[in-house]
Amino acid sequence: MIEKIIKIKNVGKFVNYLSKEDTTFRRFTLIHSYNAQGKTTLSAILRSLRTGEGKYIQERCTLGQAGNPHVALLLEGGPVNFTDSLWDNVLPDIEIFDPTFVDENVYAGCYVEHEHKKNLYRFAIGEKGVSLAKEVDELDNKIRDINPEITSKKKDVEKHITGDMNLDTFLSLAPVDDIDKKIAENEKVIDSLKKATEIIEKSLLSEIDLPNLPFQDIEKMLCKQLADISQEADAAVKQHISQFMDDKGEIWINQGMPYIKDEQCPFCGQDINKVDLVAAYRSYFNQAYKDLKKEIADMSKFLGETWNQNLILVLLG
């Protein structure tokens, strides 16, 4: 049972209603007022409380006011609030008899069919009956709307039909089992015949003129060794790179050697005149090392330009 309306804010006419004095509902409570004063809004609030659907209140949100609708009621079991489009409780054991009830539960339809020129009248009572009647009307309307389009499309299709079979006869044909599979199999046969014709019509293979590779130069370059690097320097550099760096460490050290000026470390500025590891660097990265690296880079560039990706694709066919 509803005992009191505590607050209604931003719902229709109720911009900021607050209960004052004794407004407790009795066994019979009559609310009356002139038209457009909020009676229908109260019915909408009660319907929302009954169903738990916030749309009945949200659709009556007061225009031009800041803030969302808010309703607070006092029930026999305690207060209940509508905030952020939701009730924190519902009261399903109430009934509201108003125009909305009539619209949702009483339905009448009247239309004339062109085929028999008769007036047909239907009357349905109850939510389920109303829903079914409305659904039938919607389907009838869709059928009437789509029939002219079907007729127009049928005429467009018939313009492109060749042979003795008309559209209705074609549509009455019995379906063929696994038709998609059979179509796919026949399409493969047609494609095979087309490819066979293409192969027959193609010219014979032509001889490919491959570029000459300098195998002797490559073999000579791969056999070269840096004989003037001492074993101690070679071991010291490789051990240092393995311990403190990755596979790019050798490149990094080689690129940094030219930055050594006046026997000072280009990184920290300390004196490196008597550092054995720096002497090992100088022995390791000598002129012979630089010449060999350049020779390898030149050969790689030559091979990349001669045996490029396009030539490889041609060979692979």
Per residue in 241-251, pLDDT (tens digit) is 888 888 888 88
How far is residue 114's CA from residue 117's CA, in Å, rounded to a whole number?
5
Find all residues with CB under 8 Å of 132, minimum gap 6, and list them.
124
Q: Does any domain span residue 67?
A: yes
* Domain containing residue 87: 2-95
| pLDDT by position in tens, the chain (length 317) | 899 999 999 999 999 999 888 889 988 999 888 888 899 999 999 999 999 999 999 999 998 888 899 999 999 889 999 998 899 999 998 888 888 887 776 655 554 454 444 344 455 567 777 787 788 888 888 888 898 888 888 888 888 888 778 888 888 888 888 888 888 888 888 888 888 777 777 777 777 666 666 667 666 666 655 555 566 767 777 888 888 888 888 888 888 877 888 888 877 878 888 787 777 776 767 655 556 666 667 777 766 666 665 555 544 44
How far is residue 122's CA from residue 119's CA, in Å, rounded to a whole number?
10
Q: Is 311 found in the same domain as 241?
A: yes
Q: Is 78 found in the same domain as 34?
A: yes
Q: 50-72: buried (b, 16+ CB within 10 Å) or exposed (e) per residue? A: beeebebbeebebeeeeeebbbb
End residue of a domain, out of 62, 95, 128: 95
Tens-digit pLDDT profile for residues 64-102 = 888 899 999 999 889 999 998 899 999 998 888 888 887
Measured from the Cβ of residue 82, the count of other Cβ atoms closer than 10 Å reads 26
What local confidence, expressed as pLDDT, does residue 220 receive? 63
What local confidence, expressed as pLDDT, does residue 46 receive? 94
What local confidence, expressed as pLDDT, does residue 271 receive? 83
Share of the chain above pLDDT 70, in %: 74
CA 256 vs CA 8, 14, 235, 277, 281: distances in Å: 80, 82, 20, 14, 10
Q: Is 112 found in the same domain as 81?
A: no
Q: Does any domain span residue 172?
A: no
Q: Does any domain span residue 170?
A: no
**E-assigned strands of the chain?**
2-11, 14-18, 70-75, 78-83, 86-87, 106-112, 119-125
When divided into structural domains, the chain yields a total of 3
How far is residue 143's CA from residue 10's CA, in Å, rounded to a whole number?
44
Enumerate long-range contacts of 89-94, CB under 8 Å, 24 or more apart. Answer: 90/49, 90/50, 90/51, 90/52, 91/2, 91/49, 91/50, 92/50, 92/51, 94/2, 94/46, 94/49, 94/50
The β-bridge relationship of strands 106-112 and 14-18 is unpaired
For 79, the 3-state DSSP assignment is strand
Q: Is 112 found in the same domain as 89?
A: no
